[in-house]
């Protein structure tokens, strides 16, 4: 069996608050392989976003390791991690994080600046057409519907042919049609050999994922790894 694309080994993260230390993640271990779609569910405050940020190289854990294709990402410098994210990881967030003064096309193209993708514009136009955004090509985010914003964010995440997609509540603000489209695109990415880690309240997300786990108060249950064991 090939090595996982993403692996977390005993990842722990705490925050300091007024009442002392808060355990956001406690010894989390998961693995997501090529062609896999793992959905993690849990209530607000359970640590889902912290888990996703740690997995994406955006939040250094207190303890444990995060590996992408076998390499520990937190052994890299901040600049090296930024280059790795641009090249190998796509992010889809509930709040979109689009650049307000850029058009749909330029928002989708934004990751190509860091990853030096020579065919970026052709790829961006292909994704825009596939996601039904062609009529909105030159519009800025303030002129888009909620669903159009999320589809733009998804196209941006897919631009550089990432190995891994990380999605944080990507359907939370969407109507049924856009929810279905986004989830189908995430599932199709996994079917093409990518790895997907999604955190969501949405039961529809669990329905399309190949594996489902639950996060409660920073502890994970029911996340069988690609080899069938539970990690």
| Model confidence pLDDT, tens digit, residues 142-196 | 999 999 999 999 999 999 999 999 999 998 888 999 999 999 999 999 999 999 9
Whether the Cβ atoms of residue 3 and residue 195 lie closer than 8 Å to each other:
no
Per DSSP, what are the bridge partners of residue 168? 93, 199
Whether the Cβ atoms of residue 6 and residue 65 lie closer than 8 Å to each other:
no
**Tokens, residue 24:** 């956001």
Q: What is the pLDDT of residue 106?
A: 94
Q: Does domain 33-53+77-217 have CATH number 3.40.309.10?
A: no
The domain spans of the chain are 33-53+77-217
Q: What angle do CA 204, 209, 215 make, to 5 degrees?
A: 85
Q: Give dist(CA 131, CA 129) in Å, integer.
A: 5
For range 206-225, the mean pLDDT: 83
| Model confidence pLDDT, tens digit, residues 60-71 | 999 999 999 999
């Amino acid at each position: 069996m090939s090595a996982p694309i993403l692996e977390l080994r005993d990842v722990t993260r705490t925050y300091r608050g007024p009442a002392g230390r808060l355990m956001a993640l406690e010894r989390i271990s998961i693995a997501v392989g090529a062609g896999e779609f793992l959905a993690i569910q849990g209530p607000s405050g359970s640590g889902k976003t912290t888990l996703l940020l740690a997995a994406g190289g955006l939040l250094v854990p207190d303890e444990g390791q995060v590996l992408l294709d076998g390499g520990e990402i937190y052994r890299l410098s901040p600049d090296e991690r930024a280059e790795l994210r641009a090249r190998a990881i796509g992010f889809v967030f509930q709040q979109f994080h689009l650049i307000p003064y850029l058009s749909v096309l330029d928002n989708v193209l934004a990751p190509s600046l860091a990853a030096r993708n020579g065919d970026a514009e052709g790829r961006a136009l292909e994704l825009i057409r596939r996601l039904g955004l062609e009529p909105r090509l030159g519009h800025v985010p303030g002129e888009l519907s909620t669903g159009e914003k999320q589809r733009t964010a998804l196209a941006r995440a897919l631009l550089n042919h990432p190995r891994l997609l990380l999605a944080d509540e990507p359907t939370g603000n969407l109507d049924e049609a856009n929810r279905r489209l986004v989830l189908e695109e995430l599932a199709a990415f996994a079917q093409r050999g990518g790895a997907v880690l999604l955190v969501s309240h949405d039961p529809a997300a669990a329905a399309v994922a190949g594996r489902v786990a639950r996060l409660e108060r920073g502890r994970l249950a029911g996340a069988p790894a690609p080899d069938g064991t539970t990690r």
